[in-house]
Amino acid sequence: MIYQRTLENSVAISGIGLHTGQRINMTLRPAESGVGIIFHRIDGDKVVSIEARSENVVDTRLATVLGRGETRISTVEHLLAALSAYGIDNLHIDIDGSEVPIMDGSAAPFTSIIEEAGLHNLPQSRKFLAIRKPITVIDGEKRVSIIPSRFFRVTFDIAFEHPCIALQQRSVKVSPDCFRRELAPARTFGFLRDVEQLKAAGLARGGSLDNAIVVDDERILNPEGLRFQDEFVRHKILDSIGDLSLLGYPILGHVRAYKAGHNINHQLVEKILSTPECWQLLEFSDKNLKEALSSNVPAFASELALSKA
């Protein structure tokens, strides 16, 4: 995927907002090279546009929230993960609510509409953010780092004192096929005690067993059970892909995370952006892409005829 990409056609999707419980309509429209991913919050005659970039993140407590002025768009991570995995760099997203619809709690509905719309390569090449030196963020027990790699890989460990979750670990090299099969169907999850507290606070009004895995102190409450034995850690990887896409560039690096969530993911993005000595923007040509993928990791950037951005 050396060229920038958008959708071939516009496509629409509707669903319930996790926190508002309101019906939300969203349309994904093709965009030109260099536009980026832009949300257009439509409220009557008023339209507020918000770029999907780290500087527009205003909250990471319950989800990743983008904002501009008083306008907010919440729970963007599942959609952004799907767009990132499919290599979509440029897109207009029209949305008439304050949060991306939760759908079934996974990214599978978004992969479906992306494939329905089709992919369109644009004439301008992509710029990749290639990690050259390790970067680490530690927040209490939580830890996330990124090290040099020829590919975008995520290795994630979670640890919960719960019999249905316990310790889970998974490592994936992110690609459209891998995302579709191994990550997109994994649903968000929560503990019953937390869901009850959120609803008492006027949040999670749209939350149900139809759009989340819910566990009490001992068991999974969803009658259909899990889609994967390790669905919990798979969803954490999905979230991290969406959060890290807010760098604004596809990544060449290996993310290693332990007990990470939206907040520390955002901290990693901010630390990457603030330490330019640890990375390089690379622009591949048709000729040198094949060489890059077959070269040794420590030397692949310096040995190739790569254009510095």
Sequence spans of domains, the chain: 3-125, 127-304
Mean pLDDT of 152-174: 96
Catalytic entry in 19, 92, 262, 266: 262
Domains 3-125 and 127-304 share a fold: no
Tens of pLDDT, residue by residue over 8-57, are 999 999 999 999 999 999 999 999 999 999 999 999 999 999 999 999 99
Contact call for residues 237 and 84 (beta carbons, < 8 A): no
Token pair 């999905």 is at which residue?
238
Instruction: Answer whether residue 305 shows pLDDT above 60.
Output: no
β 37-43/91-95 pair status:
parallel
Give 50's strand partners: 39
CATH for the 3-125 domain, from 3.30.230.20, 3.30.830.10, 3.40.50.1220, 3.90.550.10: 3.30.230.20
Q: Regarding the domain delimited by 127-304, which CATH topology (the fold level of the hierarchy) does it fall under?
A: lpxc deacetylase, domain 1 (3.30.1700)
Tens-digit pLDDT profile for residues 205-234: 999 999 999 999 999 999 999 999 999 999
Model pLDDT, residue 196: 86
Q: How many CA atoms lie within 13 A of 73 on its CB side?
A: 31
Residue-wise pLDDT for 100-156, tens only, equals: 999 999 999 999 999 999 999 999 999 999 999 999 999 999 999 999 999 999 999
Indicate the pLDDT class of residue 82, thresholds 50, 70 and 90. very high
Residue 262 among the catalytic residues: yes
